[in-house]
Each structure stands twice: as structure tokens, then as C-alpha cells.
Structure 1
Amino acid sequence: MGRQLTIIVDGETSQVMTHALTVRGALSSAGIKLTPLDQVSPPASSSLSKITEIKVQLSHPIRVWNDSTKTLSAVDTAAIVPAEILVTAGIIPAAGDITRLNGLIVPLNEPLSVSGPFVLQYTPAVNLTLNVDGAESSFYTAEPSVGIALWAKGITLHGGDALSQSFTGSVDGQSLLVINNARPLIITADGRDISTFATASTVGEVLAKVGITLQDLDFSKPAETDALPEDGRIVVVRVREEVLREQQSIPFTTTTQTDATLESGQTQTITAGENGLQIATVRVRYEDGKEVSRETEESLVLKEPVNAVVVAGSKLVVSTIEACDVPVDYYKAITVTAIQKQLWAPPLRKVSLRWIRPGFQF
């Protein structure tokens, strides 16, 4: 009496009627010839008494490319899990290793959805040791380049960061990868702000990196030879100087002489003062377009100033004034103003007084 069986070969299902007593016999009656490398479930020697489904994974020629040794090896296996295929090829995979099929990464321990001959690419992971700003760490990676390995690890680099290995070069597990992270900087120059990252040790090196040159009298804050500032700000000051020739006035001075024959309080001008004239060479300094200093370097006097001479009288002349019907002699009168202020009083009252004779006032 025959029985109905489901046979799945390399993922393809078919229904067969068989009078065979074993799995091997059922497969043979269905035209499937097994080789020692084929995989059968249940085993080929099993009885069909309680079996309704048979799974067969036929062996296929598979080639394995090893990125580490740059070699291509061929194996004949029924395995469809990359890790098992690698073991068949004599490769023991480890954590972090990568396998690719048709250029796409495939999980190491999951079955492939492909049958027939194919090429499996194997990239072993290497232990990459890092030193980032003095802090050392390591991780395994099978990425093709240093840059991709760092990106996959979540390590972000900026344009100014310094690497001891090529960013696009292959990963070298034998050498230490040193990364010096750049500092963010803002450079103010020529009326604009430039944002950049740099690992330079001095201000001058940073300016050279971004293409800013200091010419003639230009300077930077901090100076070119100084270390990078803590606040990350660098200011470039553009300096220019010009030399001018100017006409300048020379002020005269006044000399006062005393005349005992002239009444006190009276003056007479003996010689009128006149300003002189000179031609001066002046150096003017501009910083970022603004004048910051003006210095006279030399001058040529065209006309000397004429100093004024003034005579002041010192002769005391006694005069008489009636004060409250009383004659008072004095030699000098000075008008002063007194202000009376009381908390309860009406508006303020001004009183003008005259000071007459030394020691007598009212």
C-alpha cells in the first residue's frame, strides 16, 4: 500500500506517492539521489512508518573569499548558514566577523535564502586600539576602512581632527590609532567670523590653516606665538599707517608784569600775542579702518609765536562811600550774592553786599 509524502528539496516542495519503507527509498523513488554531503531530515535510514515530510538540503559547490588572506577557496557543502559554510572551508568565525553575499552583509548565524553555487565573502574582525586625546580603548571591527569603522562605532570626526592613520585606509589591527580631537574656534578677520576646528598648538598655525595671513603691521589677539585661547576666540587686527604733512598753529604765551603806578585792578597790554606757524610730519595709525593714534614725528617752524606782555596795576587808591549815613573809606569793592534759606520762610530772597576794606564786611 502506498503512502503520500511531502518532500522539500532546497526549499522547493513536492508531493509524492511511494511504497518505500525508508526515507532513502522514498527519495530514490522520487528520483533524488543523495551524496554523502547532502543533509536529510529525518535521517536517510529512518523508517517511513510515522513520517509525512522529508527535508533535503543538497550540497552545492560554494566559493569563499577571505579578505584577510586574499584567497578564494571552493567547498562542496549542503550548509546554508554562513558560519557553517566557513567551518567547512576551514575558517573558524569569531564575534565581529562579517559575511557578505553579492556585496550585502548577511547575518553570520542565519540561513541564506539562496541556492545553487555562489560566492560568500568573509571579512574577519580585527582589534582596533584607539587613543583619543590620551584616553585608550579598543573594539573589534571588520569594516573596510578606518573612517567607516569609526562611524560604525559612533565616533564622530570633524574636519580639523588629526588621525595617525589614513581615514580612507584599511584598518590596521597592529598599529595604535591616535586621534587628536580638534577644538572649535571662531576667528574674526576682515569683518567676518570664520568657524573652524583645529588641533594646532599656536594661533599662527590656525591662521595659516584657514588661509589668513598677517602682513606688515597686522597682529592677532592672542599673538601668533601664543597657545590657543580657552574661549576659542581669535581676532585678527588689520593695521595701516599713513604719513601726513600738516600746518599747525603754535600758541603764544602771556607774561604778566606788575606796575606800582597803575591802579589795582587795571591792566594794560604792552605786546599783543600772535600764534606761530609750523609744518609737522604726522604718522597716523589705523586699526581695522579706525584711527587709534596720531604722532608728530618732526616739525619745521615757519613763524615763531609772539608772546603777549600784560601789565597789572598794584597801586592802592582809597575811596569813600556813604553807608547808613556814615562815610566809609575803602580801596577795593567786590560784589557778592547771599541767599537766605529757611524751612518755614516765604520764597528765597537775594541780597547783594559789597566787601569794603580788608577785615570789614556787612
Structure 2
Amino acid sequence: MKTRLVLAFGAVLFLAAAAAYGLTLGSARLQADGVTRNVLTRARTVALALRDAGIELNPEDVVEPAPESPVTRGMLIRVRRGQWIEVATEDGPAPILAHEGQPAIPANLLLQAGVHLLPGDAVVADGRQVDARAPLAQLPLRLSLAPKYALLIMRDGIAMEHQAAGPTVGEALWQLGIPLHPADSVQPATTAPLADIAGADSIAIVIRSAREFRLSVDGQTLTVQSAAPTVGEILAQAGVALTNLDYSRPAEGESAPADGKLQVVRVREDFIREQKPIAFGEQRLFLPELDLATQQLVTPGVYGIQESTIRVRYEDGVETARTSEGERVAVPPVDRVMGYGTKVTIRSISTPDGTFDYWHSITVYASGYWPCGSAGEPGRCYPHTASGKDVDLGIIAVVLSWYRLMQGWPVYVDRYGPAHIEDTGRNVRSEYWIDVAFPDYETFLELGGSAPGRTTLYFRTPVPSEDAIRYVAALPLR
């Protein structure tokens, strides 16, 4: 019984001691060396809690809260490691102290060392050029300013001297605060490394600022930003191509217009083909088996087709010109072939003047004339015929084409009498015509005072040559 009491009393003492020990433990959150963890500690101060957690501090480290601060349940203890950064200055290396957790902005770190950034400056962190105003992922060991290049910047004809580190043309211009429009022209290109183009003298950079142009094309007006010197280059940058006969105002080879107005004229050409008939000609075929002057169609005529080509020019859909491109015979005509009979048959005619043999006859209109009553010229007399004979009964005049072949031929004119072809005249009628002669006006009156009018002309024998017969077979009016 006594033994049991002793054991029970010992257990009570153990539990009481354990409870007292537990009451002395505290829970805190510790953030150090990039790790955040919960720790249990009986330490009364932050410094002792760090010691219990195995955290060793360096003189440049910063502890938050301060090391002498009391530990409270659930508190956050942060250890910010210090790091010395070597900053290159004009006076030599200048170390600065930075701590984890502070923004690692190069410009601010340089300012700690008394280095002020100027336009064109570039910062090198641990051998790599960085953005001076953008936080680094981690604190660097070394900071310096990148070496600068002397620049001669010519912008729109205005020269400026600067220094900038680059490393490219574009970055140097950005460092100098020189704005660029995407359409600006920069030579050398913005991607060109300054180190590749640097020489003994300044690096020349030419900037041609983009201008705004209003481009009329395809029924719409486009606003185009371009620094190109010529119209053609502006159009190319705008993605507008001149094809075939298209042209621009001003022309694509001309300088960019001062008023900023451009126009592209779309040109197309169509070809129109027009046709018109070609009249067919006539060929004569003399047929000895067909009676003289009888006509017979041997081959019908066929109209041909003449084709002309016209070039029609349209500018922006509006017709501006028509030009003939020439003509050609698309289908040649086929001549009509007429057959003319040349078969001569001798016949006789009984007249008040006797019986006459003739080999051909035609219907004519016969007018009359006398020496002083011809050609419609009052007071003028022509006593002789074209063949030199006296104008008298028994003479007739015919058109010149007949006379050349028939001069001297014997004929008979119904209601006039026998005669010979010895004179010429002019036919103004649309039918065959002759002029019968009288020696004077008095004789004309004695014989009735009128010419025969429409009558029959008989060609008396003898029969002329074959050529003459063929001529008569297709006898012309004039």
C-alpha cells in the first residue's frame, strides 16, 4: 500500500513539471536565407530565438524586430542578409551595403554610391547590361556604368551631339530619351550594335521622322505614316502595289509631296472588236453561147467582214480614251461573177429609109443638137464634130467612152434615120443616151421640132471585132 502511494505521488510531480515546461515554450515564424518556417522556443529575446534556431548572424545582417526585442507567440522574425556591392565610380571602387528584401534597382544602388545617372547612361551588373530602373532578381556583386559612344545624331536636318552606351542604336536613342515612331527611318538600323559601327570619330545616326500622308486608292482614303523619300517607297510601305498600267500622282519616282496627298489611279484596258461588211466586187465572164448583151449570174457575190479593234482605257473605272488598233479583213469578200453573152445574130429592119442589117440594138434616149444650139451656150457655135466632120443630118454624138471605140460605126436611129457615130457629148441621164445632129435650127423645126426622145439604136453591119463585141455586151452608161 505504501509503495502504491509513492508511485502515484511521483506521477503527479512528473505531470506538473511537464506542464510547467510546456508553459515556457513559445511558437514563432522565422524567415531567413530564403526559407520561412515555424519554430518552438523558450527564448525570451529574438537574438536567443535565432541562436536556438541555429541562425548565425553577420555584422551587416539586419534582424526585424531588433535582436533585443522580446519573443511573443506567433511573431514573425525576419533575417535580411547584408551584401556588399562594389560600385565603380570616377574615384575608384565604392562599396555599398544592401540587404535582402530591398528593391534591387540599379539606379537606386548607384545613387547610394553617389553616382547619378545621366541621359545615355547604361548600367552593367555583374558583367551584364541591365535596365537601370528595373528591379534585379537578386543583388549584384558589382555595378558600373557601361562605356559610352560619341554619337552625332542628325534628325530631320538638325544635328545633335550625344553620348550613349547602347549597346545598339535603338537602345542608345532610348537611353537619350529620343522618341521614335515605328515608321521613322533610322540609319544605321536600330538593331545595329554600336560596337560594330564605332570608329575613331563619332557614330553618325540619321533619323528621318515619319510624316502623315493621305492616300486615295481603290475608292478609299488611307492615312499612311512614312519617312520614305519617294512616292514609290511610301506606296510600298503602305502595301499598295502599282500593277500593269496603274500610276500614281505624283509619279512613283518623284519625291514625297509636301502637301501629303497621294493618289493611285487604277488603269485597265479593254479591247472592242467591231465588224462591218465589205462590199463584193464583180467580175465579167463573156459567154459565147449566150445571146449578145444577155446577162446571166454565174457566181453570187458574198460580202466580206472587216474587223477593227479599239483599245478602250479606263481610269478608276471611268473611260478616258479610245484608240484604234487597226483593221483587218476577217473574212474576204467573194466577187460576183456575171456572165455576158457575146453571141451575135444578124437581123434586118425595114424602115422608111430602106432595109438595114444590124447585129445589135439597145433602147436609148435621143436628144438633138445643131452647130449653134449645143452645150447650152447661147451665141457659141461648134460647126464641126469631134471627128472633124460638119455637123449635119446622119451624125450622132455619144459619150466619150463609146466614141473611142465606136467612132465611124454605122447605126440606125428609129424616128431619125441612118447615121454614123462621129461626135461626143455628155450624158446627164440615168439611161443610155445619144445626141442626133441637125445642120441648123430651121432644119430641126422642119423635121418636126423635136428629137426622137426614147427610141431604139441599131448597130448596123459589119460586125466589129471580138473586143468591140465584148464591150457592147457590158455597155456602160457613161
TM-score of the two chains, using structure 1 as the length reference: 0.44
When Rg is computed on C-alpha atoms for both structures, the one with the higher figure is 2
TM-score of the two chains, using structure 2 as the length reference: 0.35
Structure holding more strand per residue: 1
